[in-house]
Chains A and B, each alone.
Chain A
């Protein structure tokens, strides 16, 4: 099957997942993002790359942070941005997802930034746009179910590249709820695409999905062993609803086994960086001393996120070479 994100010239038509993206496109996005990083420091924080384009932020699932960063990125590209929060699932809401898309397309949308609770929802939209012959409308996945959060994956790669320069000699550990994490999946695909030789996943068996080995990941259930000698630690957020029940007994016990404390951080390389996609649960997955410490790059991640999303949107829209 043809990769639905690429057009027939091999260019990025949509950004749906990092999986299957050629390394050259990933690098192109990161390079483009670095050209945008400076813009935010200027007096006039705008470039006219998407002037006159309409970007619809279509959020079927609650999110303030991601929606805001996409909004800022759109505005810095001079696009018109319209935010739509459609909290209920498309099935129970009356209007179907594709009817919503058709309606907004009729308003001459140029791009949909989509977040949806169902894995694969942006693929359905992309296929529908293809089937209804609207190749000029683009889709950017802003997080779908457990499947992918490609712009987060890319901004994580940008951050790692910024601090570590070279991917081909790194050991990266992703810690926590891998099972439910779209960020983890996107990070894993991005890291393996960029040639990181060792990607580790650390968590209890209840939060590690089967088949991680086939994605090129080494799994660890012991935090201390997993952190030994790593260059990058990506902490994942533990959702409230997972903290007690059949997956984990309590937040306290989780912190005891998998919380990132200064003592555990000391097992990593001395210059290891600590990342987190946010929002953080201090005292659940990460100790405040680490979150606020010198090795944490959590706030720079947020700043880079704007530039990376600008790069993605302008490349997908075809306004950036």
Chain B
């Protein structure tokens, strides 16, 4: 945006979870930052005014896991298509896992990705560097160099470290510089090659299973290593009730741990595989209703810190295959808001959420809480914060279908669902990057 450009968003219902604001408030933006909330500062004259009557004005969403597929998998998605999807989904900050091709284990690759993203001038892209070279679980990456290049943390994506000693060293090294280690808790051996949650459904359909203990054994190891090293860990994509119980205990103990869950997992269970629907092939796999209910509760009581889209675009050639051969993953950027709202409506509204409305609680999990987990100065409309804003209509309904999605990934288990919540405008650093007429 032009320097000095002033934007006035009027008549909207502003929700800023970080500051406990949930009410009718105008928003004043200047120089890409929030200038004031409520009444206009003296002498403010807007260059552009947006009427947000009937809309929620929220901080732009912070997504803790979005695969943009660059570099290496441009046939599945490109930065252009996925950044457009982010804008349509109201997502203004993206955290990208390092499982690209090549893997994000060198500063040059990270700089290139950041540069490519910057020229598109849409969402802010924050890569996670690989924790080990090539994600192979053997040699540590140059974490300090990678941080300088723009990495906000270090992850193994879907590759568990087999050698526990390497994980110990990686956590010790990360702790030296106070970097956060992002790990999806999964044992390297138990459940390897599994394609569905172990249980009656997997047994019945003859699908090889991933037992809950794959998650819990990994958690026990991670927590023990945290006690030994003091490293801060963010646990990605929790999937089980038993795993969440361990997280609850670890948090009570005071371990510096946070965790997230993918937006699909707060709604679906293994039963949604139906007759081998490969759109329901995701990692970690959907588990039982009991696990799903524990996830919903965990998101409410704060055991789960944040909700992410776990956006993983997969093309037709890799999805229209027998269940076990299909690539795991679902498109998510454009569903994140609707799925968060669905949680607020279907679940949080039936529980005691105290003084915070279910809607505000849902937004906190994809704005301020997610930003806190990632260590980002984002996800809030505090005066002086970057003016990353999402305007959405919480009542407007839309049908999930390929033509409605900007992402190159058209596969989602929610295909055909009619969902509430439609983004009307997305503002990044005070610049209107997307507007739906």
Contacts and interface: CB of A to CB of B under 8 A. Distances in A.
A and B: interacting chains? yes
A116 B322 CA distance: 9
Contact of B200 (A118, A121, A145, A215): A215
Contacts of B275: 1, 4, 120, 123, 127
A102 to B, nearest CB: 11
Nearest to B327: A91
B276 A89 contact: no
Given A124-B276, A210-B200, A210-B203, A119 B325 contact: no
B204 A185 contact: yes
Given A1-B274, A1-B275, A123-B275, A118 B204 contact: no
A97 interface: yes
A124 B322 contact: yes
B325 A89 contact: yes
Contacts of A120: 205, 207, 275-276, 322-324
Residue of B201, B317, B321 with most chain A CB atoms under a 10 A cut-off: B321
B321 A90 contact: yes
Interface residues of A, number: 31
Interface in B67-90: none
B331 interface: no
Interface residues of B, number: 23
Contacts of B274: 1
Contacts of A96: 317, 320-321
A97 to B, nearest CB: 7
Interface in A140-163: 144-148
Given A4-B275, A118-B322, 7 more contacts: A96-B320, A118-B325, A119-B276, A124-B323, A144-B206, A147-B206, A148-B206
Contacts of B317: 96
A182 B276 CA distance: 15
Interface of B: 198-209, 274-276, 278, 317, 320-325
A145 B206 contact: yes
Contacts of A82: none
B206 A91 contact: no
Contacts of A52: none
A211 interface: yes
Residue of A4, A19, A209, A215 with most chain B CB atoms under a 10 A cut-off: A209
Nearest to A179: B203
Contacts of A1: 274-275
4 shortest interchain CB distances as A-B pairs? A120-B276, A146-B206, A211-B200, A147-B206
B320 A145 contact: no
A209 B203 CA distance: 6
Contacts of A211: 199-204
A212 interface: yes
Interface string A111-126: 0000010111101100
Contacts of B206: 119, 144-148, 182, 185
Residue of A116, A120, A215 with most chain B CB atoms under a 10 A cut-off: A120
Contacts of B321: 90-91, 96-97, 124
A90 B206 CA distance: 19
B207 A210 contact: no
Nearest to A211: B200
A195 B276 CA distance: 27
A214 interface: yes
Contacts of B204: 19, 185, 211, 214-215
Contacts of B276: 119-120, 123-124
Nearest to A119: B206
19 contacts: A1-B275, A4-B275, A90-B322, A97-B321, A98-B320, A118-B322, A119-B206, A120-B276, A120-B324, A123-B275, A124-B323, A127-B275, A145-B324, A146-B206, A146-B207, A209-B202, A210-B200, A211-B201, A211-B202
Contacts of B209: 209-210
A98 B325 CA distance: 13
Nearest to A182: B206
Residue of B200, B204, B206 with most chain A CB atoms under a 10 A cut-off: B206
B205 A147 contact: yes
B205 A119 contact: yes
A210 B205 CA distance: 12
A302 B321 CA distance: 33
Residue of A19, A91, A97, A182 with most chain B CB atoms under a 10 A cut-off: A91
A234 B203 CA distance: 19
Contacts of B324: 118-120, 145
Contacts of A19: 204
B203 A215 contact: yes
Nearest to A5: B275
A182 B274 CA distance: 18
Interface in A168-213: 182, 185, 209-212
A123 B324 CA distance: 13
